[in-house]
Structure 1
């Protein structure tokens, strides 16, 4: 069975951060995701999708995203139900996020924070020291700036063997 969801949209309001009785962080937010087509009046409609994220990524979402922030969410769809105050059964469908990517630089005009360039290190946490990444002993070694284009050509030829090509 497959249950995977990938969404890109803007938050409709600031995330709500709460903690379970055991101290586990959980954040709820709603993404407005534009549809691919326009309605009869020529307007694009959007779907408003409830999302939930747990633990450290939940705290990061609450700290760095706000209403209007552009975010990417990868996760699974979950359906649950509960009885409300009137005794009626209420069904809820939501996306349980495994990963939330902040798709705008912090302070950009689109509405808010995030990791720079859409990096996803907030959901995975730092790499162990000496393994590369954020816990590295020598932070300047083999790192490039986030605003540099890693695919920009410097005008030199690329030395590659035909054996290295996949086709």
Structure 2
């Protein structure tokens, strides 16, 4: 079984690119700083783990994830290798994202990062209320 669950903070905004071709898909790459359980010489240490999200997950990351926010990622580890332009073999290890979500409230994230984080439709804010965009009233199943 290949299953990974990580919780950490984004080291920078996700880098998003789109595949070439008619049916292009979004590909988001970001790095999570995941605190280690034990301190070394009294200092907290972290591992920096590369994550890759595809499709809707990548679009979500592009829209809502910002440097410093804490998220939880579930996925699988994937290793690969390639030969760089100098002829050296380079080995890579990434987490392929299957699920991702916020690991702290919007208010806590804003306190930590110092910037406003947009609340996605359907997600509750710090007060437990959902963000419903203007003009969507006619699509709601109640009146």
Question: Normalising TM by the smaller chain, what interval?
Answer: 0.7 to 0.9
Contact 1:9 1:72 in 2 (8 A): yes
SS at match of 2:111: coil
How do 1:10-159 residues align onto structure 2 when only pairs under 5 Å count? 10-22=9-21, 23-40=24-41, 42-106=42-106, 108-111=110-113, 113=117, 115=120, 116=123, 137-138=141-142
CA separation of 1:117 and 1:33: change in aligned 2, threshold 3 A? farther
TM-score norm. by structure 2 comes to: 0.77
Unaligned ranges ≥5, structure 2: 126-138
TM-score norm. by structure 1 comes to: 0.66
SS at match of 2:112: coil
RMSD: 2.1
Q: Give, in angstroms, the shift of residue 31 of structure 1.
A: 0.2
Describe the superposition over 1:35-89 as per-residue Cα deviations: whole angstroms up to 9, x where unpaired.
010112x001000000000001101101111110111000000001111110111
CA distance in 2, matches of 1:21, 1:50: 22
Contact 1:103 1:117 in 2 (8 A): no
Q: Which protein shows a greater Rg?
A: 1
CA distance in 1, matches of 2:47, 2:124: 25
Higher relative contact order (CA 8 A, sep 6+): 2
CA distance in 1, matches of 2:104, 2:61: 13
SS at match of 1:3: coil
Alignment size in residue pairs: 121
Q: Give, in angstroms, the shift of residue 30 of structure 1.
A: 0.2
Q: Give, in angstroms, the shift of residue 104 of structure 1.
A: 3.1
